[in-house]
Amino acid sequence: MFDFLDKYDVLGAFWTTVQLTLLSAVGSLVWGTLLAAMRVGPVPLMRGFGTAYVNIVRNIPLTVIILFSSLGLSQTLGITLGADDFKVQGFRLAVLGLIVYTSAFVCEAIRSGINTVPVGQAEAARAIGLSFTQVLGLIVLPQAFRAAIGPLTNVLIALTKNTTVAAAIGVAEAAFLMKEMIENEAQLLAISAVIALGFVCLTLPTGLILGWVGKKVAVKR
Amino acid sequence: MTSVLYDAQGPRAKRRNILYTALFVVAFAALLWWVYKKLDDKGQLAWSLWKPFLSGTEAYSTYIWPGLENTLEAAALAMVIGLPLGAVLGIARLSDHAWVRIPVAIVVEFFRAIPVLVLMIFGLALFAQYTDVSSDDRPFYAVVTGLVLYNASVLAEIVRAGILTLPRGQSEAALAIGLRKNQMMRLVLLPQAVTVMLPAIVSQLVVIVKDTALGGAVLTFPELLTSANTMAGYYGNIIASLTVVAVIYLVINLSLTSFASWLEQRLRKGKKSTGAVLGAQDVAGIAGTAATGAGGAAGGPDLGARLVGGPHRDGDAGGHAN
């Protein structure tokens, strides 16, 4: 019943899913933190940019963004992200799309983390003469990140599930392989069960472990 | 706007901010110029490529409007089926009987842990193998099935959270006047919970609308994105077509999001309710996580002052799950 496991590289497909997830997670964490810093900063133009970015990106389907990076960026404008191989290029474009999309949610998660830091912390920091970058970098963000682990975990789990959208531009990850297997084999239920189990194995432990970490490092108030 | 994160600006800080603004403008302008140059080099700014959208209605009546109709139809149907299903699951998860509570919890967690695209692909094959739905209708059925399975479990959590946010006094009072558990749920808790979770439900609608695009790209369901692709094939203007489609999604979803935050503010300020609201922010937590309690660490009670104006306060569009 499970003989399709020998014919198809299911583990390899899930490895691609994991790679997509991790690379996009790192990228969107960096870009999302920058966006959050812009959104709370003293320069009005950057605040406006951050707000506009988040509100625009969050309301466009990820599928549109990823299709745009494939059909628009690479096929029409010829931006290949330094890849000569078609597969590598699709992978990189998918990561780019995922970063653009996910960073909006990371920004909101970090902002909600910043909101848990008591006002007195920032006031005390300003009272001893720290500048905005110092207040944010030394006092607020370290506490905010610890509180933001919960929301960030949700973003990471959603990101793991969102990597399946890369199937739309032909990246050979789990959902893409599932479609291929279902078309060629007559074991719909077994194939779906394996793929579903794979995603449960990726998302449940992420939630459990990071949920535990989040509670562990949360600032007790 | 002043913030607790930085001091009121003196002359030096003002000069520095102007410098930062200038640097940002230069960097942003450079980016825009680069984009413009790229587009221009490939001839993507030619009037003929954008003309179908800016003059004449042919593109809209032939491609965009039928696609949009399918998108909205699938989203609305998914919500209409998913909501009652979610309500039943959510209430069942609050049951006093372990034999009801635990299986329902497993089902809800299972469907929340799986990408909606996987559910759609499964649905497509399921309808192909076990039913006689015609192959033209199958993508639509599959998209709605996937959306219903996923969103019913998310809505179940919203309903559960909505009932749990009500003050304890409500159920205590209901029991004290001698209502049965079923009466308490039906007459006291649910009617209040519905108002409490309205903003959250509207935000979930945004997620559903966005997810229909997935059915278009992978299952060839002829919704907005697919028809945009067909249109791009006809006019040869993929960038223009995708831009127009993105703007349409943006308009729909932004109006839904602002409606949700308007509802939320209204409910928060309302005198008739208990003041409990399940905001859009809370949904972001519900939709992402599996039953691990990973969410809820941040965004604590709305009591103390906040460092930055959150969506609850400054009325900008509230968050929804991705």
- Residues A91, A20: Cα–Cα separation, whole Å: 8
Q: Is residue B216 part of a domain?
A: yes
Over residues A71-91, the pLDDT tens digits come to 888 877 777 777 777 788 889
What value does the mean pLDDT take over residues A30-47? 91
Give percent of chain A with pLDDT exceeding 90: 57
Q: What is the DSSP string of A84-112?
A: -SHHHHHHHHHHHHHHHHHHHHHHHHHHH
Q: Where in the sequence is the domain holding B220, given as residue range(s)?
A: 53-292
Residue B286 covered by a domain:
yes
Q: What share of chain B is helix, strand, coil (3-state, %, to 5)?
A: 75, 0, 25
Answer yes or no: is B258 within a domain: yes
Supply A174's token pair: 């789990």
What's the burial of A54, exposed, middle or buried (CB within 10 Å: 0-12/13-18/19+)? buried
What's the CA gap between B110 and A199, in Å, rounded?
10
pTM of the model: 0.88
CATH number at residue A134: 1.10.3720.10
Question: Is A150 close to B296, i.e. CB distance below 8 A?
Answer: yes
Give me the pLDDT at residue A188, please: 87
Which structure tokens are listed for B104? Answer: 């329902």
Chain A's closest residue to B300, CA to CA, is A116
Domain membership of residue B29 (yes or no) is no
Q: What are B163's two structure tokens? A: 């009932």
Report the number of distinct structural domains present in chain B.
1
State how many domains chain A has. 1
Q: Which two tokens stand for residue B190?
A: 């649910």
Select the residue from B117, B147, B203, B205 to test the A interface by mutation, using most A Cβ atoms within 10 A.
B117
- For residue B256, being part of any structural domain is answered with yes
With a CB cutoff of 8 Å and minimum separation 6, the contacts of A28 are A98, A99, A101, A102, A103, A105, A106, A155, A159
- Of the candidates B113, B225, B297, the beta carbon closest to that of A64 is on B225
- List of chain B residues with pLDDT < 70: 1-2, 271-275, 279-322
Query: pLDDT value at position B1?
Result: 41
Rounded to whole angstroms, how far apart are CA atoms A58 and B177? 47
pLDDT at A47 over 60: yes
CB contact under 8 A, B306 and A168: no
Residues A139-144: what's their mean pLDDT? 91
* Residue of A187, A196, A186 whose CA lies nearest to A161: A196
CB-CB contact of B75 with B205 (8 Å):
yes
| pLDDT score recorded for residue B280 | 60
Q: Which of B192, B184, B186 is nearest to B163 (CA)?
A: B192
Task: Report the pLDDT value the prediction gives residue B291, as an integer from 0 to 100.
Answer: 35
Q: How many Å apart are CA A165 and CA B238, to the nearest integer?
A: 19
Cα separations in angstroms, B202 against A212, B43, B196: 31, 41, 12
Tell me the per-residue pLDDT of A168-203, one tens digit each, with 9 for 90 and over: 888 889 999 998 898 888 888 899 999 999 999 999
Residue B299's pLDDT is what?
35
A218 closest CA partner among B296, B308, B165, B305: B296
Q: Which of B219, B208, B210 is nearest to B118 (CA)?
A: B219
Of B116, B217, B287, which is closest to A67 when you measure between CB atoms?
Answer: B217
Tell me the backbone φ, ψ of residue A209, rounded to 5 degrees. -65, -50
A164, B113: Cβ pair inside 8 Å?
A: no
The answer to whether the CB atoms of A153 and B294 lie below 8 A apart is yes
pLDDT at B303: 35
The reported pLDDT for the residue numbered B160 is 92
Domain assignment of residue A72, given as a range: 4-217
List helix spans (H) across B179-237.
181-183, 190-219, 224-235
Q: Alpha helix locations (H) across A74-187? A: 86-116, 119-127, 132-134, 141-162, 174-184
Distance between B218 CA and the closest CA of chain A, angstroms: 5
Q: Report pLDDT for B46.
A: 80
Average pLDDT, chain B: 83
Q: What is the ipTM of this complex?
A: 0.90
Chain A residues with beta carbon closer than 8 angstroms to that of B126? 188
pLDDT at B322: 58
Does residue B26 belong to any structural domain of this protein? Answer: no
Sequence-ordered list of residues with C-beta below 8 angstroms from that of B139, at least 6 positions apart, any chain? B124, B215, B219, B220, B221, B222
Would you say residue B18 lies in a domain?
no
The count of C-alpha atoms lying within 13 angstroms of the C-alpha of B287, restricted to the half-sphere facing its C-beta, is 30
SS3 per residue for B113-149: HCCHHHHHHHHHHHHHHHCCCCCCCHHHHHHHHHHHH
